[in-house]
A and B are shown apart, each in its own frame.
Chain A
């Protein structure tokens, strides 16, 4: 009987330790801050960071608006759309401006012209930057840096460069089919497209605004290149499939592996940062010396929130892992990753340093701060599936078992 008691005690202790271990979150060292939790799986969503402010858009929110938050999840300002019947086709938040393209919700064919607006956060002034020239033409992506705004126009195949100081726009590239990744930093713009030499696969372009030159990364000319990436200073991150793509109904499937690439635009050297033969391909983000992407263990069409934020420091050559249950990254800026979950639909920020950055935007002193409405101001760590009640229950079960057996004895 003594052995029974020993086993009962062992059982209780084992369960308690197991549950305590489960309750310790993965990646607990990171500070994950909930910015907004709204919308549904059907919502069209997008979000960006600028100068320690976060702008989000959730198509099912009413009234439709871009919401700008402080880094602690407090609402700073809502940027209203023209009316309740419009939706966004694209938006970007950069240098104190919110750029967005409106589209009429009733027009499923996109026959009506679209307008790109520039909203000044400090003053609330809204200005028309660009209007699409014909029916069926859209602006589906916007990137901005300093005096330049880049628009993905036409039928997702034209790169349009707009200069704020002159108000002029010009098409700098037209793809055979589509333009994919799309980013700007300072004097350089990057994008991916089908190969211009009509070879199979895609390639990565780097356009220098001051010289008007369009260069192609030689290593990117491949059937394995996805065409997505990001640029920061002299570095560019982009991605290709690690394996030769399998053909699915005649279409090469690039989705089941990745080879993360880093190209130094000064030296011209391209290196592989990390490869995975099982993790789904993912688009990288780069800011300063940090590259970030979502790493998921496998392709899972029914369960999206299974990733972690993977980082690579270019200077030190070290990797990091942050957050858990991540679906996708929306932006990376000054060491802060903006990411999202699908169930429930929510936006989060994770400062890679572990410290919440202070708000430094000069725009804030010029506008009254609004009271938060629908947001939850929450600072969280990863939630454990087992809570305190469960742990207490386990202890109780162990003690009860011990007591019962002791009495029986």
Chain B
């Protein structure tokens, strides 16, 4: 009799689990806007950290109309070069020292909100990478204005509207791969409802023949996220 009672309880619990578990697991769903498609986001999550190229990301995750726009506006050879480069999953990597400094390409491939100028960074671990919360960064094209090299960007924490303990957005200006100067903005203990965007920028007297480029970094605690992205480069000739 005791055995049959145990069986009844166990069966009841199992039945309950069957009904309840799907509603719990479905809660972890997420969406991302911009140039990533839903299918693309799903693929990125499933292949987080994989050895892929920037072109792979574009082909898999960008909206078709954005891919079309890029193809129409960027020199095919340059595109081939950029898209064959490895894709970095939010880790820091060295500034470009290549030759993608054509002013036409620079103008046409940047300045558009979305995956071209923003990188999504979030807490990741080997088991369940998520893009449901993190740092969104945007970099302005590094350029020349009023006698100065101008650089900068902005960032915000998305997917979290409560009180953020600390958030810093930093812009590092590089000249021929050497870090030249840093600008940053930081904030402590602030409400992220509505979402707060921090921006930072700087200027520097140019030197002929130097290739300038800025790296924008985001760093937060509670919630803890890091992210970075690069601006387009500018050759002061």
Genuine A/B complex: yes
Q: A: which residues have CB within 8 A of B?
A: 3-4, 7-8, 10-11, 14-15, 18-19, 22, 39-46, 60, 89, 105-111, 136, 138, 140, 155, 178, 180-181, 226-228, 248-249, 251-255, 280-283, 296, 299, 301-304, 327-328, 330, 340, 342-344, 385-386, 390, 394, 397
Complexed CA–CA distance, A18 and B123 (Å): 37
Q: For B191, what are the chain A residues with a Cβ–Cβ distance below 8 Å? A: 180-181, 226, 228, 283
Closest to A44 in B: B195
Complexed CA–CA distance, A15 and B196 (Å): 47
* CB-contact partner of B154 in A15, A110, A249, A304, under 8 A: A110
Q: B158 an interface residue at 8 Å Cβ cutoff?
A: yes
A14-B12, A252-B189 given; name 17 further pairs at CB < 8 Å: A7-B8, A41-B158, A42-B33, A44-B197, A108-B138, A108-B139, A109-B140, A180-B190, A248-B166, A251-B189, A254-B165, A299-B222, A301-B222, A304-B161, A328-B162, A344-B31, A394-B19
* Contact indicator B140/A328 (Cβ below 8 Å): no
Q: For B199, what are the chain A residues with a Cβ–Cβ distance below 8 Å? A: 108-110, 136, 138
Closest to A178 in B: B187
Q: B178 an interface residue at 8 Å Cβ cutoff?
A: no
Closest to B120 in A: A42
* Contact indicator B33/A40 (Cβ below 8 Å): yes
Q: For A46, what are the chain B residues with a Cβ–Cβ distance below 8 Å? A: 194
Contact status of A3 and B162, CB under 8 A, knowing A41-B132, A45-B194: no
* Contact indicator B4/A253 (Cβ below 8 Å): no
Q: For A22, what are the chain B residues with a Cβ–Cβ distance below 8 Å? A: 20
Nearest 5 interchain pairs by C-beta: A109-B152, A385-B23, A108-B138, A109-B201, A40-B31
Contacts across chains A and B counted by CB atoms under 8 Å: 167
* Contact indicator B113/A106 (Cβ below 8 Å): yes
Which of A109, A180, A282, A385: most chain B CB closer than 10 A?
A109
* Contact indicator B132/A251 (Cβ below 8 Å): no
* Contact indicator B201/A111 (Cβ below 8 Å): yes
* Contact indicator B29/A7 (Cβ below 8 Å): no
Complexed CA–CA distance, A364 and B123 (Å): 47
Cβ of B191 to closest chain A Cβ, rounded Å: 5
Q: For A110, what are the chain B residues with a Cβ–Cβ distance below 8 Å? A: 154, 199, 201
Q: For A138, what are the chain B residues with a Cβ–Cβ distance below 8 Å? A: 199
* Contact indicator B195/A281 (Cβ below 8 Å): no
Contact status of A40 and B32, CB under 8 A, knowing A45-B194, A107-B140: yes
Cβ of A359 to closest chain B Cβ, rounded Å: 25
Q: List 12 A-B contacts (CB under 8 A).
A: A7-B7, A7-B8, A15-B12, A41-B132, A60-B33, A106-B113, A108-B154, A109-B199, A110-B201, A227-B189, A248-B221, A253-B221
Q: Mark B174-201, 1 if CB is under 8 A from A, else 0.
A: 0000000000010111110111110111
Which of A44, A89, A138, A140: most chain B CB closer than 10 A?
A44
Q: B: which residues have CB within 8 A of A?
A: 1, 4-5, 7-9, 11-12, 15-16, 19-20, 23, 27-34, 111-113, 117, 123, 130, 132-133, 136, 138-140, 150, 152-154, 156, 158-166, 185, 187-191, 193-197, 199-201, 221-223
* CB-contact partner of A343 in B20, B29, B164, under 8 A: B29
* Contact indicator A248/B31 (Cβ below 8 Å): no
* CB-contact partner of A44 in B163, B188, B194, under 8 A: B194
* CB-contact partner of B223 in A4, A41, A109, A301, under 8 A: A301
* Contact indicator A302/B190 (Cβ below 8 Å): no
Complexed CA–CA distance, A39 and B187 (Å): 26
Complexed CA–CA distance, A386 and B123 (Å): 31
Closest to A303 in B: B27
Which of B1, B30, B156, B189: most chain A CB closer than 10 A?
B189
Contact status of A254 and B140, CB under 8 A, knowing A41-B158, A44-B195, A397-B15: no
Q: For A40, what are the chain B residues with a Cβ–Cβ distance below 8 Å? A: 31-33
Q: For B188, what are the chain A residues with a Cβ–Cβ distance below 8 Å? A: 251-252
Cβ of B47 to closest chain A Cβ, rounded Å: 20
Q: For A343, what are the chain B residues with a Cβ–Cβ distance below 8 Å? A: 27, 29-30, 132
* Contact indicator A255/B201 (Cβ below 8 Å): no
* CB-contact partner of B133 in A105, A302, A385, A386, under 8 A: A302
Cβ of B120 to closest chain A Cβ, rounded Å: 8
Q: For B163, what are the chain A residues with a Cβ–Cβ distance below 8 Å? A: 226, 254-255, 280-282
Q: For A397, what are the chain B residues with a Cβ–Cβ distance below 8 Å? A: 15
Q: For A136, what are the chain B residues with a Cβ–Cβ distance below 8 Å? A: 199, 201
Complexed CA–CA distance, A299 and B222 (Å): 9
Complexed CA–CA distance, A390 and B8 (Å): 19
Q: For B15, what are the chain A residues with a Cβ–Cβ distance below 8 Å? A: 15, 394, 397
* CB-contact partner of B33 in A14, A18, A39, A394, under 8 A: A39
Q: For B133, what are the chain A residues with a Cβ–Cβ distance below 8 Å? A: 41, 301-302
Contact status of A304 and B27, CB under 8 A, knowing A11-B8, A42-B136, A283-B193: no
Q: For A344, what are the chain B residues with a Cβ–Cβ distance below 8 Å? A: 31
Q: For B34, what are the chain A residues with a Cβ–Cβ distance below 8 Å? A: 42, 60
* Contact indicator B159/A41 (Cβ below 8 Å): yes
